[in-house]
Structure 1
Amino acid sequence: MAIDDLLDEHEQSERVLQWLRNNGAGLIGGIALGLAAIGGWKWWEHRGEQQGMENASHYQAALDAIASKDKQAEAKVKALGGGTYGALASLELARMQVDAKQNDAAIATLRGIKVEDPAIAQIVNQRLARLLIEAKQADAALKLVNNAASPSAIEVRGDAQFALGQLEQARASYSQAMTKLDVASPQRRLLELKLTEVGGTSAKPEAKS
């Protein structure tokens, strides 16, 4: 190997060493931060899984309390707070209250549900609207399902309109609900009876593309 080559290699190694002296602290700090970030993410991920398991356990305990008619059932449901678990447990609690002829309590339970999931919110509104109609509060029920889209919700809207003496609007709602149901749907027969009661005639289901 030539002397010039040795000098070049020595010069290059010196440059590398000098770069490490100048940037070594920052490099080590960056690695440390990266490891800390990975460790923090793992901790957060584990904590989320653990929290999810705890929530599921509390949810099941609330359902068991409802099924056994435990006096602490309502307290256990409330302890779940908002979110999906709390909403589902509250729906089950309201069903139990209706079965026990405690409609006022069921209305209070349903009104207390706060959930962002639109599918669950729709179920809550339908069940609450049905109870409000029975409680002679059809105007309040109508507000809950006024912009209904599903056949069941549209039917409830028709029930509220019928209770308010709005027969033309009820006919329109029942007819609209009918068009969204298959001919073989069990719900369709009941709708036909309701539609006849308000002076309407059966409508054909919507053509499916």
Structure 2
Amino acid sequence: MAIDDLLDEHEQSERVRSWLRNNGVSIIAGVAIAIGGIAGWQWWQKEQGNHLSMANAEYQVVLKQLQDNKLDDAAKGIKALDGGKASVYADLAALQLAKAQVDAGKNEEALATLRAIQASPELKPAIDQRIARLLIATGKQDEAIKLLGDATDSASLEIHGDALIASGKRDEARGLYEKALKTLDVAAPQRRVLETKVMDAGGTVAEPAESV
């Protein structure tokens, strides 16, 4: 090996040592932070798991209270469930509470329960539909119509049509029923009921084309 090559290697080694002296603390700190980050992530995951486990246990308590017809106790339990990822348990429990309140003839309380749910975008349409059905049942069809607004899914269109029927707007209801029917699969369980509503509103139902 030529002397120039040895000098180059020596020079390079000195540069590496110098760089390590200047930056070694930063490297060690970076490694420590990375390890700490991994440990912190694992701790956070464990805490989330524990939180959800506790929420599930509280949810089961609420369901038992509903089963025992202790609606006031269940309502208090639902408030304790709300928060973070566990709020999904609060939403589900609130839906069960609203059903129990309807069964007990407490429609206004059921409406308040449903309206208090801070639902995710995925769950909100289903909750709005339940609220709308309850509004129609309590003679508040105008509120139901306003709530459903421009919703275009089959279930919302059908309920919107029901609200219009309750308001005496038969022709408008028929249009929504027919529109809802077009979005339903031929084998959908609700299709027969919707066809009956179309005909009751003065419309006709075409026979589905047979598959070849």
What band does the TM-score fall into relative to the shorter chain?
0.7 to 0.9
TM-score (norm 1): 0.84
Query: Is contact 1:175–1:203 with CA below 8 Å preserved after alignment?
Result: no
Q: What is the one-letter code of the residue matched to 2:184?
A: L
Show the 5 A alignment for 1:31-110.
Answer: 31-70=31-70, 71-81=72-82, 83-110=87-114
Q: Give the alignment's Cα RMSD to 1 decimal.
A: 2.8
Equivalence for 2:120: 116
Query: Is contact 1:125–1:145 with CA below 8 Å preserved after alignment?
Result: yes
| Cα distance between partner residues in 2 of 1:198 and 1:7 | 98
Query: Is contact 1:180–1:205 with CA below 8 Å preserved after alignment?
Result: no
- Matched residue pairs, number? 207
| Cα distance between partner residues in 1 of 2:37 and 2:10 | 38
Query: Is contact 1:182–1:205 with CA below 8 Å preserved after alignment?
Result: no
Equivalence for 1:134: 137
Cα deviation for residue 7 of structure 1 reads: 7.6
Equivalence for 2:178: 175
Change (3 A) 1:202 1:12: closer
Query: Is contact 1:84–1:117 with CA below 8 Å preserved after alignment?
Result: no
Deviates more, 1:25-34 or 1:199-208: 199-208
Q: What is the one-letter code of the residue matched to 2:160?
A: R
Change (3 A) 1:182 1:31: closer
Cα deviation for residue 165 of structure 1 reads: 1.5
Change (3 A) 1:14 1:204: same
| Cα distance between partner residues in 2 of 1:27 and 1:105 | 61
Change (3 A) 1:6 1:114: closer
Equivalence for 1:164: 167
| Cα distance between partner residues in 2 of 1:109 and 1:203 | 41
TM-score (norm 2): 0.83
| Cα distance between partner residues in 1 of 2:145 and 2:206 | 23
Q: What is the one-letter code of the residue matched to 1:80?
A: L
| Cα distance between partner residues in 2 of 1:8 and 1:181 | 78
Q: Which ranges in structure 2 are unaligned for 5 or more consecutive residues?
A: none
